[in-house]
């Protein structure tokens, strides 16, 4: 390929990516909070935290696992006491809660 043709292809691809991003914004599609793409300064993006604090005894979206620190147990959606549990922490997954030293509730 000649240099001029390569430059044109890169330009068209760049314009296409910008248009696609603009369409997402106009449609209201949320941007991903975390990704493996580098940041503007070239460094990697940080991984999302394993847990977050609940707001008004409610776990935020993306953190469905409810944990009680005093008992050392966690509840996942569908468990018997899940709906009535007021969490101390909310985890991304059962694996994240287990890695933090908690154990699953029996039912």
The pLDDT tens digits of the residues spanning 42-71 come to: 777 788 899 999 999 999 999 999 999 999
Structure tokens at 86: 């007021």
Are residues 92 and 64 both part of a single domain? yes
Rounded Cα distance, 13 and 8, in Å:
9
Percent of the chain topping pLDDT 70: 71
Residues in the chain: 107
23 lies in some domain:
yes
Boundaries of domain holding 25? 1-33
- Number of structural domains (the chain) is 2
* Mean pLDDT, all residues of the chain: 83
Strand segments, DSSP code E, in the chain are 51-52, 65-68, 73-75, 89-91, 103-104
Q: Cβ(91)–Cβ(51) under 8 Å?
A: yes
How confident is residue 39, by pLDDT bands cut at 50, 70 and 90?
low
Residues 60 and 99 in one domain: yes
Are residues 70 and 29 located together in one domain of the fold? no
**Among candidate residues 81, 79, 87, 80, the one with its CA nearest the CA of residue 58:** 87
Are 64 and 92 within one domain? yes
């Amino acid at each position: 390929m000649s240099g001029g043709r390569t430059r044109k292809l890169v330009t068209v691809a760049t314009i296409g990516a910008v248009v696609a991003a603009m369409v997402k914004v106009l449609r209201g599609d949320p941007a991903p909070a975390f990704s493996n793409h580098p940041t503007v300064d070239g460094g990697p993006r940080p991984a999302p935290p394993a847990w977050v604090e609940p707001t008004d005894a409610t776990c935020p979206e993306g953190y469905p696992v409810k944990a009680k620190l005093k008992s050392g147990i966690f509840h996942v959606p569908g468990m018997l006491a899940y709906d009535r549990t007021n969490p101390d922490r909310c985890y991304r997954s059962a694996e994240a809660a287990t890695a933090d030293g908690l154990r699953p509730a029996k039912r």
